[in-house]
Structure 1
């Protein structure tokens, strides 16, 4: 197995050579064998051991075993003792989720404090099979069936080419000692139940079951690559960037077949996993939306608008009399002039004596209305936005310049008739939106 491991490093993981490597070592057979193989292959390694305090004295003996292993091999060992139950009670989830979160947080810290380049974990073929079955039982897309990646950023799994049987046989043949985790035989955990009861039955079906499974996953990864290329091409064709948002034409989206597969492929990376809900959004009225943990998907007439999720608070900005320049949240310039000129969407002229200071700059709210310049009567802003074909995202970011509760200017779009300069005006205030 050592020669096979060395060849694997030379052929597929050559970037590990000459780097400082942190091995996640529990004391179990997989991580102990990985430690020996790396040490015998001349790789620069150190160990990290997590004591999760879940098995009383057993946990402490595991910790001591890893420390002794480091001393025998002459390599540094870092140990961290966790309050796993306390973390779980505070953050929720299962014990396994809590332990996973804690160890990966610590490993990422050690990469920096120990000046390591990569973390090595001892996942193998059997782990991949168990993960495949777990994902299959819960329901998943193709990415959930392609298995544990050999490399994920700075985390590398050099034993994914080897089976549990190969690893244990090597340990026995070399007289390598390891620690047995008593919790591994408890079938109350799903992974253990699959490992102890289901996987042996699957292996009985065919003598080369694991090998066939590995080949099948390789084919799935190739299929996933083809699908990913097609999804990326569709996204490049359909997604049109505008500011920090993306506009996607609904009619063009509907033409993609199979629709559900494309919807999942296009939107799951933004946290949307219920493609039926997205499909329903294609037929929904304007204004309907879906929200993920990171993004918002909004139906707006002919398009879906995808944008990062923002937590907006209504903020009013006061503008006292005499201010020359307002810098935030947008740039506005105020100046007294003797006459009107330079008319345009970003400049208005106001009768200053009709204004009550301080003026207020704020975002629009439902129920807002104004008296559009050049028109008789008032108009709801929602109707104005609709007539101007302004989408919901842009509408929400629209700024209004107000005098008391009256809208003076829908900034950059339309002034209010009530504050216009007329024959009786004595003082003209020019306001410019500086873009």
Structure 2
């Protein structure tokens, strides 16, 4: 399918596809942004599709309303709307690709925009020739070459007057910056393309090296976290050079913050839209953001209850006379020492208990530090309480005050099943 606005570039692409006798359809969006001109563009593309005898698929968008609702710029709103619809329509109609008419000047403008905002290699390599189902066959050609082709072949197109306004950064670069660069060196556009190709090759090499680093250093845990040894990471040299490429698949793009985290104190973290990156001593931990946190509430366990669901699993309570080898998720306690109802809650600052096997009481915060638990580990910890006293730091350590003794008459086995 060919995305066609009615402008020079997309009209030339449309004619080229017809000249090559390709099997294609035409996609046109009316964004309702330029009063009568938007409708005239649609009419122009409709007539051309009829003349070329190719199927046309068109849609109207209330772009202004969408931008306001989603707090986007008009340009970003239009881009989001059209690409989403392009892909949906191509899939529905059984087409493999969507062709767009981006050319060399577009790539240069994107390069300069990204450069002005601050960017890495991704932003300096311009617009990709192929991205998912989107293909851009005109990228090697300048706008001047495309216009010459149109003129020589008597091809008509529509001019978008909004492209002349310099209130948008892209137009300002197009009309004010690029002409000066070309005036300083008539080979500027050609030299830029050569440089862009070299940058793309460099990026390809760095991406391959980043994959090698990930394969060697990423250690996936049972809970889905990824652990990275900082000492091993530093053996690859200055992390500012490669850390962005190693972590960008998790949404992290601010390489300065990522590099700074390495030398920060334990417990510091940064966030992307989907993940968090946490330093825990000499380890970096990548963990997905929770879609929804467990509600902050308490769970009551009455004496007669044998199964209680809590956010970290299911607590199973059973009277027993048989003691099996202890596991992390199981405790045996003297039931007669309990005050019902039992309470399950998140641990809180100031909590303390008497760890079984240790002397005296200890604050949970100190216990966690001694156990070298990460911030993520601590966020997942719940405690089982009898009245105000902690019976069990669930999945970690029971309290000495409730342990079974030789004269214990009622033995209660509590297991956390996940």
In the superposition, the TM-score normalised over structure 1's length comes to: 0.88
Partner residue of 1:309? 289
Q: 1:374 aligns with which of 357, 361, 369?
A: 357
What SS does the corresponding residue of 1:147 show, helix, strand or coil?
Answer: coil
In structure 2, C-alpha distance between the alignment counterparts of 1:303 and 1:412, rounded to whole Å: 22
Which is worse superposed, 376-385 or 334-343?
A: 334-343
Alignment of 1:334-413 (within 5 A): 334-413=317-396
The runs of 5 or more residues in structure 1 that have no matched partner are: 1-21
- CA offset digits 1:348-392 (Å, max 9, x no partner): 212223223443334333322212123443211111122222222
How far did 1:182 drift? 0.9
Cα RMSD of the aligned pairs, angstroms, is 2.2
- For the residue of structure 2 that corresponds to 1:44, the secondary structure is coil
Change (3 A) 1:341 1:249: closer
| More deviation, 22-31/73-82 | 73-82
SS of equivalent residue, structure 1 residue 273:
coil
**Aligned-partner Cα distance in 2 for 1:343–1:269:** 41
The one of 136, 141, 160 aligned to 2:115: 136
From 231, 242, 249, the equivalent of 1:262 is 242
The match for 2:188 is: 209
Residue in 1 aligned with 2:56?
A: 77
Post-superposition CA distance 1:30-81 (Å, at most 9, x none): 1111111112212221111111111111111001111111111112222222
Shift in Å, 1:255: 4.2
- For residues 35-434 of structure 1, the aligned pairs below 5 Å read 35-242=14-221, 243-310=223-290, 311-313=292-294, 314-326=296-308, 329-434=312-417
Distance 1:93 1:432 in 2: 50
Deviations 1:71-98 (CA, angstroms, capped at 9, x unpaired): 1111222222211222222222322112
Q: Does the CA contact (< 8 Å) of 2:267 and 2:280 recur in 1? A: yes
Cα distance per residue 1:293-325 (max 9 Å; x no partner): 222122212222221122423354444434444
Structure 2 unmatched ranges of 5 or more: none
Q: What is the count of residue pairs matched by the alignment?
A: 414
Q: Distance in 1 between matches of 2:109 and 2:188?
A: 13
Whether contact under 8 Å (2:11, 2:157) holds in the other structure is yes
Aligned counterparts of 1:362 and 1:113: Cα–Cα separation in 2: 50
CA 1:177/1:249 → structure 2, altered by over 3 Å: closer, same or farther? same
For residues 387 and 58 of structure 2, the distance between their equivalents in structure 1, rounded to whole angstroms, comes to 63
Distance 1:223 1:359, change over 3 A: same
Deviates more, 1:99-108 or 1:271-280: 271-280
How far apart, CA to CA, are the structure 1 residues paired with 2:117 and 2:268?
Answer: 29
TM-score by length of 2: 0.91
Q: Whole-Å Cα distance in 2 between the matches of residues 128 and 343 of structure 1?
A: 64
- Supply the distance in 2 between the matched residues of 1:82 and 1:420 (Cα, whole angstroms): 68
Matches of 1:362 and 1:108, distance apart in 2: 47
Whether the aligned pair in 1 keeps the contact of 2:129 and 2:136 (CA below 8 Å) is: yes
- For the residues of structure 2 that align with 1:209 and 1:374, how far apart are their CA atoms? 75
User: Aligned partners of 1:217, 1:344: CA distance in 2, in Å?
Assistant: 59
Distance 1:209 1:277, change over 3 A: closer
Kindly indicate whether the alpha-carbon contact (under 8 Å) linking 1:254 and 1:282 is maintained by their aligned counterparts in 2.
no
